[in-house]
Amino acid sequence: MPDPAVPPTPPVPLTALLAREDLALRQLAGPPAEQVAVHWVHTSEMADPYPYLLGGELLLSAGVHIPEEAAGPGTAYFDDYVARIVAAGGAALGFGVAPVHDTVPEALVAACAAHGLPLLEVPPRTTFSGVARAVWQLMARARLAELRRVTEAQQSLATAASRPDPVPSVLRRLAQRLGGFAVLYGPEGAQIARAGREPGDDVREALTRLAEVVRPADGPGERPAPASATDTVAGSHLASYALGAGHGFVLAVAEPERAAGDHTIASAAAVLLSLLTGEQQSGTGAARSSALVRLLLGAPPEEVAPLLGDGPWTVVHASPDGDGTPEPLAASALGAALGSALVDPAGDVVRVLVPAGRAPAPLPGWTLGVSAAVAPHDWPAADTQAARALARARATRTPLLRHGPRPALADLVPPGEAAAHAQSLLAPVAAHPALTETLRTWLSLHGSWDRTAVALSVHRNTVRQRIARCATLLETDLDDPDVRMELWFALRHV
């Protein structure tokens, strides 16, 4: 699937421009403003603006180009002028009253009415630059609203993908966000799941045909299928998206109206469904399922390890920076970054089993603890090593720490007992996070007042007051190296 594009800037409804009291624009001819959208503004005094228009513009002119004889009877100047604007795809014409013309020429009004081009009267007090600025402001506001809508839709789709029934949940959420119908077709063309308001038979048949357009061809030498396709049937906007790398699954949607960001929303759903359906179709996914079944049925780890890839293996424990439990999609993304799909996102720590040949590197937003490379029968020991490495990484504020061959003093104390001791020792200051953090930073910087003040962005006298308060609450001498060592050990296990 191509990367979902940023939604284009929505056009500005002509009604929104006419509603601006500061502009005081007035429509004199053309179709109702509700049917017209403006994509941008262009000012031109050329008698033939056609070469300079891209389509969708509100063309502004003060009529400098109008010859004197054009106002006479029997002349075709205005008819030709308006016809060229319409041929170029202009959205509307804004005519400035004064300083060249006192009123909008009646012949221009008649030509715009005949060709169906909206004609706006721009009063003398309204500048063309003011009209252009108003259009840009309205477009910026519409773009911000569309980006917010797309972002909220993507977040809701990601949440749906983490539910126990991810595929139906994603389809339901997609149909709700688009206000239409969503269906997932399998490799053989059968409907696997669908959600939303059921369309008519003609739309359903059109969706089935459109799904075949993007389905990968079976035979060699066949023309590659596009990643997506669109159509319009019975007033419904249809789109289909190929999922994954040739697995044959297709997402199709039908909606009564197509907004600027709908393609981005549907593309995000297609990416999620590609992950959800591709897992079942890939050989790796089948191998992992087979390995899991064998382990559950009593097979030793060394027997199932070949199904998962070449060893030896390392275990990585990862904790997200900040508070909160990592979401399943974030855990999956972490596994992808580490080069492994063997991810356990349970709890506040994500565990990943990684082939030893893929050396983990520090990742933004994560703190990692990495075990030594081990054979499958030592996986439980590697899990313990990774947990201890992560605890040391957290305590020392290090993005990544690896288990070393020489055990540290902390490794000799069971984690549960160490945590209980730390809670008991630090209980007097535990209710004051600022004191705890100051003590941790001060100890890590070997008691330097100035460096601690810089690290915490406070005054050095504030550091002195907090450390003195810690000493009072803990009823101990912080100048004693044995006390400092014991406190540092405790802070690493909180």
Q: What is the CATH number of the domain that holds 110?
A: 3.40.1390.20
247 — phi, psi (to 5°)? -75, -20
* Number of domains the chain contains: 4
CA angle, residues 135, 141, 142, in degrees to nearest 5: 90
Are 72 and 89 within one domain?
yes
Residue spans of beta strands (DSSP E) within 291-383: 313-320, 343-344, 350-355, 366-370
Give the pLDDT score at 424: 87
Question: Is the same domain home to 373 and 474?
Answer: no
- In angstroms, the first-to-last Cα distance of the chain is 45
Sign of CA dihedral 104, 107, 108, 113: positive
Sheet arrangement for strand 191-196: 191-196, 181-185, 250-255, 236-242, 228-233
Beta strand 400-402 with 350-355 is unpaired
Please report where in the chains the tokens 């799909």 appear, as a residue. 341
> Do the domain assignments include residue 1?
no
Amino acid 243: pLDDT: 86
Q: Do 228 and 244 reside in the same domain of the chain?
A: yes
Q: What span, in angstroms and rounded, lies between the C-alpha atoms of 494 and 489?
A: 9
Same domain, 432 and 406: no
* Residues 119 and 165 both lie in one domain: no
Burial 256-268 (b: 16+ CB within 10 A, else e): eebbbbbbbbbbb
Q: Is residue 293 one of the residues assigned to a domain?
A: no
User: For residue 18, is it within any domain?
Assistant: no
187 and 274 fall within a common domain: yes
Write the CA distances from 282 to 212, 246, 249, integer angstroms: 22, 11, 13
Write out the residue range of the structural domain in which residue 105 sits. Answer: 24-125
**346 and 377 belong to one structural domain:** yes
Residue the block writes with tokens 């999922």? 243
**pLDDT profile of the chain (494 residues), mean per 10:** 51 94 95 93 94 94 89 78 95 93 93 96 95 93 87 88 80 92 85 88 92 74 76 91 77 88 88 74 59 74 74 87 70 74 81 80 86 86 88 84 69 71 87 90 89 89 92 90 87 78
Q: Does 348 reside within a domain?
A: yes
Q: Is 302 left (phi over 0), alpha (psi -120 to 50) or beta?
A: alpha
Report CA-CA distances (Å) from 393 to 316, 323, 402, 408, 440.
12, 16, 9, 13, 14
pLDDT for 45:
94
The reply to whether 59 falls in a domain is yes
User: Residue 16 falls within a domain, yes or no?
Assistant: no
Asked whether residue 384 falls in the same domain as residue 420, the answer is no
Q: Are 348 and 183 in contact (CB under 8 A)?
A: no
Same domain, 393 and 427: no
**pLDDT value of position 223:** 62
- pLDDT given for residue 295 in this prediction: 72
Check which CATH number belongs to the domain holding 253 and give it. Answer: 3.30.450.30
Domain end marker among 411, 446, 473: 411
108-128 as b/e: b if 16+ CB within 10 A: bbebbbebebbbbbbeeebeb
117 and 35 in a single domain? The answer is: yes
Residue 165 and residue 261 in one domain = yes
- Identify whether residues 262 and 337 lie together within a single domain: no
42: nearest Cα among 135, 178, 140, 177: 135
Q: Which of 300, 333, 305, 331 is nearest to 317 (CA)?
A: 331
Domain end call among 125, 143, 174: 125
Classify residue 196: in a domain, yes or no. yes
